[in-house]
A = this chain, B = another copy of it.
Amino acid sequence: MKLRESNQADGLRKAADVAAAEIRRQIQEGFLAPGQRLIEAELIGQLPVSRSTLREAFLKLAADGLIELQHQRGACVRRMTRADLAELFQMRECLEGYAAALAAQRIKQHSSRVWLLEARAVWLADDVLDNELTHMENNVPLHDGIVAMAGNKRLQSALKLLELPGYRLQFLRLLDRAQRTVSARQHIDIIDAVLAGKPVQAEKLMRAHVRRAGELAQLIPGLA
């Protein structure tokens, strides 16, 4: 049978990866709500894959922590409890703090000073205070960039698994102007510490920054 010709030029060579990516997208966009059950028979009807392949996709998604698999009870979109969220942000505090420290250590080798200076300018401007979407759109790249500067791929992929799956919109709503102001200030301080090559301070500031985000996340409504 002709293998799907749809995935033109994408890196997803296996059908299971395609299916996993599609389900991931549906989860992140809210089509699949946290706690919702994923019935194999239903998804087979929606995705061009067989049961075996779908089950493989389930395993990959479960490995990424996006869904949960229970024996003889199938798959469901992962539902966060407040305790889970606390643990998650504790991990991020630890890892991103360390990433900031490593980034500060390696700042000389990197020509990414330029990039950091550009980011700094962004967080000094008013856009990130006025517009919550602009704020968010610049927030993720900044954190990712600092993590990338740390130069540890394991660290990078570990942190990728710690992004909140389906609650981003609800988190966004919690960021009022006051919150955005504090956040922007912290970002600038972190950038300065990294640029100055001060690992200890960079780590300390990043930890405080992530901890604050974690406390804010606890206010997300509708958590189990």
Beta-carbon nearest neighbor of A153 in chain B: B87
Docked Cα-Cα span, A83 to B216, in Å, equals: 37
Interface residues of A (CB under 8 A from B): 13-14, 52, 55-56, 59-60, 62-63, 71, 87-88, 90-91, 93-95, 98, 102, 152-155, 158
A94-B94 CB under 8 A given contacts A56-B59, A59-B59, A63-B59: yes
Which of B59, B88, B94, B158 contacts A60, CB < 8 Å?
B59
Beta-carbon nearest neighbor of A90 in chain B: B152
- Each complex incorporates copies of this chain amounting to 2
B154-A87 in contact (CB<8A): yes
Which of B62, B71, B158 contacts A158, CB < 8 Å?
B158
Beta-carbon nearest neighbor of A154 in chain B: B87
A-B contacts, 20 of them at CB < 8 A, read A13-B71, A14-B71, A52-B52, A56-B56, A56-B59, A59-B63, A60-B63, A63-B63, A87-B152, A87-B153, A87-B154, A87-B155, A88-B154, A90-B98, A90-B102, A90-B155, A91-B152, A91-B154, A94-B94, A95-B95
